Each structure stands twice: as C-alpha cells, then as structure tokens.
Amino acid sequence: MRNKLLNGLTPAQFLRRHWQKRPLLARNSLPQFADLLSRRTLIELALLPEAEARLITRKGRHWDVRHGPFRRQDFAKLPDRDWTLLVQGVDLLLPRAKELLGRFDFIPYARLDDLMVSYAPPGGGVGPHFDSYDVFLLQGEGQRRWQISSQRDLTLVEKAPLKILSDFRPTREWTLNTGDLLYLPPRYAHDGVALANCITLSVGFRAPSAQDLCSRFYDFLQDNLDARGLYADPHLKATQQPARIAPQLARGLLDLLAQARWKRADMLRFIGEDLSTPKSHVVFNPPRRALSAPAFARTARRNGLQLVPASILLYDDHAFYMNGERCIPPAAARPLLRRFANRRKLDPAAAIPAGAAELLYAWYRAGFIAPAAE
C-alpha cells in the first residue's frame, strides 16, 4: 500500500534513505490537515498569554521582530505583504494538532519538539536560514516557494534580529501547494517565501547539543550529589607565602572533589528525566474538583484515560518518566503503562493492576492525565 505521508516510502525506508541525510518532497501528503487552522485562529492563539508568538516584518534588507503576546490592534495596520506571524507549541493550544503529530509516531516521542504554525501574505518569510533539528514542513492553505541548499557556509548576518544566512546559494527549488510535505535534515539551508496568503505547519524534532546536554547534566548532578566531609588541616604550619596554594591544601581539596563521580545509572536517570521535561513555560492544572480514588478508578474503567496535551510520558528498561519525574512501578503494572505511554491513552474497560492504579491517580491529581471524554 502506497504511503502518501512519505511519498510512497515505508517509515523504515524513509529513515534509512532520508532521515538526517537528504530532503524529501511528498506531494499531496496530508491534505486532510490543510484546514487545521486559519489566519484568524492563528491570530487568536497569538493573543494568548501562554503562547510563544513572533511577528516578523521585512522592508528590503531590514528585518524587525516583535514577540507576543499580541493585541488585536497589532494586526490591524499591517501591510499587504512581507510579514509573517509564527506561533510555537500549537500542539499545546489546539487539541486537533495532536492528531497531526500522531502521523509521525514512527519517530520516538523523545525527539519530538513541537508544532509551529506560520501565516504569511505574499512575500512573507523569515529569510534564508538553517535549523539545528529535523523538520517536516506541511503546506496548509496557499502556496509557498522553498529554496534549499546543502551548502557548508552557514555564516550569519551580523547584528540581525534573526539568524539569516549571509550568503545563501540555493541549489533546488519547489513550490508547495496545499497538502504538500517537505522534510529537511538538520543544518540544511532553506528559504520559504509566501506566493499567496498561506499557512505553513512545521513539525520539529529536537536534537540537543552536547554543550546543552552536558550543562543540564551537571545541574542534575548538583541537585543529586551526596558529597560528604569538610576540608581539615589540623597540622597546618605558619607560612611566609600566604598567597601560595600549597600542595597539601590542593591535595585535600582534590580528595573532596574526587567525590563528584557518577555512574551509568545516574546518566540514564538524567536522560529519562531530561527528555521527559516539558518546556519551561508549560503549566499543569490539577482538577478543580478531584475525584476520589475509587471514583477515578470507576471512571477510568468506563471512559478510559488520556495524557493531557502537554504531558510527556517516556520509559526505558528500568523506569518510567512523567514530565521530568522518575518512578519505578511494580512489574505487573509496566505493560499497561508502556501501552499508555506509546498510545497516549488507555481504552475503556482496561484492567488496571493495583500497582498502576495508585500511580495513575497521583498523575491525575497533578493534572498530568485525565479521564477520556465520554
């Protein structure tokens, strides 16, 4: 059966031939999501305090960037062309967006970043640039021309408010119509310009840099370090070189620093907690009138359960990680929790082992999960 999403390729073929290697253009791939949201809806989202929104305008070679949240009047006097509205994290603001992201579930959830949506009149864009992550660009309404290049020169324009390539040399060009999908690997130079009023949906997959990952790991160690002892020098002798770091002092402090060690288990725990941590602006709202534990269990069996859109539930061979928190449930509970994590929901009438019921109820009380709608 032909896979329209990946231009006829199976997920395994796509990952082997294209993922982080070369672009792929799939015509008429996801036309059913072309109406996911309109210009009006995107502007409504940009007005929300919790939205990450940017308004980018261009006059010749001059770019201007404004950050939201915005007011309605911000959009009243915009020109007829050469501007772009971008809203990040639309998957957290628009329930149906999760259905779109579900089409890419052949890629681990731990790699998924978010859904960004842009609206632009003719001439709108963000300039030639590159991303440090994998991205699928789905064309909603309208048309956008994409130029791409595998160039190695990724020098940016100095002092520009956007990361714009100073010497973009396109080698391929396509015009995307409604439903077309373009995949680009990381660090692939590209420039998208609206040819008509258009919506573009960008599904991004994160890839943390070594610098950022190590920095967060050292923060993790600081919070979890169990170093003991206090430097002592009961046999200290008088010195005539008070500015000198004597070998005895250095050895004593080195012995204390030597306690800053970690094991593979520490790194695995950090990876699970780090990958499952939502973005810093995400807030979870506990239920206003929480069900009792027995009522919650009955409701779960009758209606099923679902993760709230912002929740990230991952697991490895040793533990589960819910929104940055590690837990090790009883062995009997793990198959059900793995199914919940992979599908992001539990069907009604699913038997819930006692070891899972307590954990699910705690997640419900924290606002991480909710009963499915009746």
How far from 178 is each of 10, 33, 234, CA to CA, in Å? 22, 9, 78
Question: What is the chain's mean pLDDT, rounded?
Answer: 92
CB-based contact 30:174 (threshold 8 Å): no
Say which CATH topology domain 11-205 has.
Jelly Rolls (2.60.120)
- pLDDT at res. 233: 87
String of DSSP letters for 132-157: SSEEEEEE-SS-EEEEEE--S--PBP
- pLDDT at res. 25: 97
CB-based contact 87:37 (threshold 8 Å): no
Q: Mean pLDDT across the stretch 52-56?
A: 95
Least confident of 5-14, 166-175, 244-253, 348-357: 348-357
What percent of the chain has pLDDT above 90? 76
Q: Mean pLDDT across the stretch 162-182?
A: 96
Least confident of 259-263, 339-343, 369-373: 259-263
| Alpha carbons 275 and 324: distance in angstroms, whole number | 7
The residue with tokens 């599904």 is 203
Q: For helices 264-275 and 210-224, give the axis angle rounded to 10 degrees.
A: 110
pLDDT tens digits along 297-314: 999 999 999 999 999 999
State the Cα angle at 184 between 90 and 52, rounded to 5°.
25
Residue type, 271: I
Q: For residue 353, is pLDDT > 90?
A: no
**SS3 string of 242-273?**
CCCCCHHHHHHHHHHHCCCCCCHHHHHHHHHH
Q: For residue 229, is pLDDT > 90?
A: no
What is the CB neighbour count within 10 angstroms for residue 56? 21
pLDDT tens digits along 64-106: 999 989 999 999 889 999 999 999 999 999 988 989 999 999 9
Give the domain ranges of the chain.
11-205, 293-371
Q: Mean pLDDT across the stretch 168-194?
A: 96
How far from 330 is each of 41, 143, 196, 294, CA to CA, in Å? 45, 53, 56, 20
- pLDDT at res. 235: 87
Q: Mean pLDDT across the stretch 310-321?
A: 96
The pLDDT-based confidence of 228 (bands split at 50, 70, 90) is: confident
- pLDDT at res. 374: 58
What is the CB neighbour count within 10 angstroms for residue 14? 20
| Alpha carbons 46 and 172: distance in angstroms, whole number | 33
Q: For residue 62, is pLDDT > 60?
A: yes
The pLDDT-based confidence of 225 (bands split at 50, 70, 90) is: confident
Q: For residue 4, is pLDDT > 80?
A: no
| Alpha carbons 207 and 242: distance in angstroms, whole number | 49
Q: For helices 354-366 and 293-303, give the axis angle rounded to 10 degrees.
A: 100
The pLDDT-based confidence of 355 (bands split at 50, 70, 90) is: confident
- pLDDT at res. 365: 97
pLDDT tens digits along 146-161: 999 999 999 999 988 9
State the Cα angle at 259 between 254 and 262, rounded to 5°.
130
- pLDDT at res. 207: 84
Q: For residue 1, is pLDDT > 60?
A: no
The pLDDT-based confidence of 143 (bands split at 50, 70, 90) is: very high
- pLDDT at res. 28: 94
